[in-house]
Amino acid sequence: MNTASELREELAQVFAELRAGQIKSSDAAELANLAGKMIASAKVQVEYAALRAVVPVIEFLKDDSEG
Amino acid sequence: MKTCRTCAVTMPADAYRGTRSMCRECENARSREWYAAQTVKPYQREDMKAYYREWYAANAESVKARAGEWTKAHPTERATVCRENMRRDRDRLGDRYVRRMLAQEIGVRSADIPQPLVEAQRELLKIKRYIREHSV
């Protein structure tokens, strides 16, 4: 998992499994917690780019369609 | 009187658009079906977004003027509409709601939040909500 788009797909999968009762809430909560950490680090990168007043070039936040 | 070729019900001519052979109700149902089947809604398409932007740029003044008039004429309704829009956006975790949440946390403008981050955050919020709503 290298990009936010892949993270989103992974989370969507977790959500579908959670709704279907295929994984326990506690497991989903752990995965959500981990995803939260990844998103938090991306937020820091966005904040840093904003502080420097530059357009952020963040690999993790690149759209998959950008290639 | 005319018989609809889809529902086979005989109705007066004003139940049809022009000379069409499908009644308004069947046409509307078909349109709704088509719309629901679109994974990318027309308003999400880049060409349509460009069209809306262009149209708004050309008509911004009249749109703002009309909105201003309506607000003056309906002061309490305006607040209700805003509240209702925000509630709906929050319930369905709309782009605007998620963007605003991230923007407040990071301290940047909503428009500066990259879309992939918005989408990842939305999925995360869905999971958190589900766990909160279904925990005993």
Contacts of A33 in chain B (CB under 8 A): none
User: What is the predicted ipTM?
Assistant: 0.84
Going by pLDDT thresholds of 50, 70 and 90, the confidence category of residue A58 is: confident
Q: How far apart are CA B57 and CA A16, in angstroms?
A: 41
pTM of this prediction?
A: 0.65
Going by pLDDT thresholds of 50, 70 and 90, the confidence category of residue B21 is: very high
Q: Distances from the Cα of A32 to the Cαs of A37, B18, B51, B90, B131, in angstroms?
A: 9, 55, 38, 19, 10
Q: How far apart are CA B16 and CA B9, in angstroms?
A: 12
Nearest one of A49, A67, A8 to B124, comparing CA atoms: A8
At residue A64, the pLDDT reads 60
Strand intervals (E) in B25-68: none
At residue B35, the pLDDT reads 92
| B95-117 exposure pattern, b = at least 16 Cβ within 10 A, e = fewer | eebbbbbbbeebebeeebbbebb
Q: Tell me the shortest Cα–Cα distance from B46 to chain A, in angstroms.
A: 14
**pLDDT (tens digit per residue) in A28-45:** 999 999 999 999 998 998
Mutation to test the B interface, candidates A6, A8, A19, A61, most B Cβ within 10 Å: A8
Going by pLDDT thresholds of 50, 70 and 90, the confidence category of residue A67 is: very low
Task: Report the percentage of chain B scoring pLDDT > 90.
Answer: 80
What are the structure tokens assigned to A44, written together?
Answer: 């820091």
